Structure 1
Amino acid sequence: MPGYLWREEGTVKWLVWKAFLDTGLVSHGFTTRHGGFSTGEFATLNMAFHVGDDPDHVLANRERACRALEMNPAHLVAGQQVHGDRVAVVGKIHRGRGARTTENALPATDALITGEPLVPLSSYYADCVPVFLLDPVRRVVGLVHAGWKGTYLDIAAKTVEAMGRFFGSRPGDCLAAIGPSIGPCCYEVDMPLVNLFKQHFPFWQELLFPNPSGKWQLDLWEANRRILVEAGLVPENIFLAGVCTCCRQDLFFSYRGSGGRTGRMAALIMLT
């Protein structure tokens, strides 16, 4: 089920999940490409430093988006995303890591979890899958960056497991939201990747579909949904936006749709 809503403040527009809002425990959102200061291929709300945009524009964009979500931009915590499966447990001592530069972001980190309030987690996207996690019982949140490599490495399940190991979270209590990312409509892949997924996922026939060109379409949304179910989440507690970033380049940055040079949206979540 989708379960998402749009929010706007001034020129900034972002997406939220009703189930997360209803807990009253978090501020969260997934930004669009609208409402910022960047120009050219980064127009306008590029949230990432590493893509070649003017750093001053990125800082101004983060300031504007974070203020809209009632987060302190100087406190953002980010990882240096490498399409791996490392999950970092963070707290107030990590606030500011990756907030103003990628240089001091957490090395080789594609998932973040925290049980401390007022620690805004952030990760950055232009087709990869953002997974938001919330345990409303133990009061733990997480963000997962899952491209095809992270999906293949089961990073979403590893993040749920880490929430249990470090904070006592039970998967059955957790909520998950799978945000806008490249959909099966646009994600064409070749045989080496197809073979990897066939070997790794028993349910691969639900993820891969041949197309008329002789290649395959891959459904990363369903892959991550199934990974979360296998990790113990209740299917009804998993919310899928079902919005393709490549189809909707009017709203989102798309790495594949742009040919490789583009901005990034941010996934943001913080216990309040």
Structure 2
Amino acid sequence: MELCAQGTAPYLMFPALAGTGIVRHGFSTKLGGVSQGSCATMNLSFERGDDPKAVRENYRRIASSIGFSVEDLVFSKQTHTTNIRLVTEKDRGAGYSRPVGYTDVDGLITNIPNLVLTTFYADCVPLYFVDPARRVIALVHSGWRGTVGKIGDKAVRMMREHFGSDPADILAAVGPSIGQECYEVSRDVVDAFRDEFTEAQMSELAEQKENGKYQLDLWKANQIILREAGIRNEHLYTAGICTCCQKDWLFSHRATNGKRGNLAAFLELLPEQA
């Protein structure tokens, strides 16, 4: 993943996704905005107690940097489910220009150009999907519950079932999120993973500590899920950036005990060239 510093608001991007030529995308940092206090400065959530005027200015800045229009935004409504919404023209502006008319949506899929799929983060895993063959995109929020529920696999299946995507054509990327060294979880969380992953896989995913808790690897878990869904190794990319370790420039729920703003992932399908 590369840091792009053009414009007021720096952002991260995957060169491989940009290289398809059919998408515009990015992942925000906490830098370059106007929010104050625990939300300083590039908070992109209207639900963190921030001044709405500041949040809107932040959106204008990140939109200018990445190159999309704020009027084309479509927000998720995340509640740690595995629900994925098929986004259509009627959703344009949902969350930014007008209220979101749905709830319990942790993933978004579309084949409609110039809809900017938008999901939110402060340690959970963003998953980007781009199918250049069928011109379909998906953006998914995968916390530990979403990972246990294999929401990444569900996104691939929906791309196949609704749009005819071949998993072998899909490029998938695991964005910035909390890394294993920073992600301590209790036994019940690991037990939930044991119900869905093999013993051999669990030996790679969870490392027990002397205090009886575990260090869990969400990056590797999602890599396993995506490979099993049919994503080719050469089409699978991982940012390898830990939000908790990089708390100076990325929001982290763990690092701040919940006193933070929200990062956002953006993914937009570009119109076909005439």
TM-score (norm 2): 0.95
Corresponding residue of 1:236: 234
SS of 1:77's partner is strand
- The equivalent of 1:141 in structure 2 is 137
Summarize deviations over 1:14-71 as a string: whole Å, max 9, x none.
Answer: 1111111111111100010000010111010001111111111111101110121111
Q: Which residue of 1 aligns with 2:254?
A: 256
Runs of 4+ in 1 over 6 A off after TM superposition: none
Q: Which stretches in structure 2 are left out of the alignment for 5+ residues?
A: none
SS state at 1:56 partner: helix
- 8 A Cα contact 1:123 1:145, kept in partner: yes
Aligned match of 1:212? 210
CA distance in 2, matches of 1:127, 1:16: 17
Out of 74, 79, 83, the position equivalent to 1:77 is 74
Question: Which residue is equivalent to 1:269?
Answer: 267
SS at match of 2:248: coil
* Cα shift at 1:236: 1.6
Give SS of 1:185's match: helix
TM-score between both structures, scaled by the size of structure 1: 0.96
Match in the other structure for 1:155: 151
How much does 1:116 deviate? 0.9
Counterpart-to-counterpart distance in 2, 1:151 and 1:82? 13
Contact 2:8–2:61 (CA<8 Å) still a contact in 1?
Answer: no
| Counterpart AA for 1:35 | G
Percent identity, aligned pairs only, is: 43
C-alpha distance after superposition, 1:65-87 (max 9, x if no partner): 01211111122001210000111
CA RMSD of aligned residues (A): 1.1
Gaps of 5+ in 1: none
CA 1:105/1:204 → structure 2, altered by over 3 Å: closer, same or farther?
farther
Residue 58 of structure 2 aligns with which residue? 61
Rounded to whole Å, the distance in 2 between the matches of 1:241 and 1:35 is 21
Aligned with 2:94: secondary structure? Answer: coil
Contact 2:82–2:150 at 8 Å: present in 1 too? yes
| Greater displacement, 126-135 / 190-199 | 190-199
Match of 1:61, SS? helix
Q: CA deviation at 1:100?
A: 4.2
C-alpha contact (below 8 Å) 1:46/1:263 kept by paired residues: yes
Question: 2:65 and 2:152 mapped to 1: Cα distance?
Answer: 27
The residue that corresponds to 2:42 in the other structure is 45
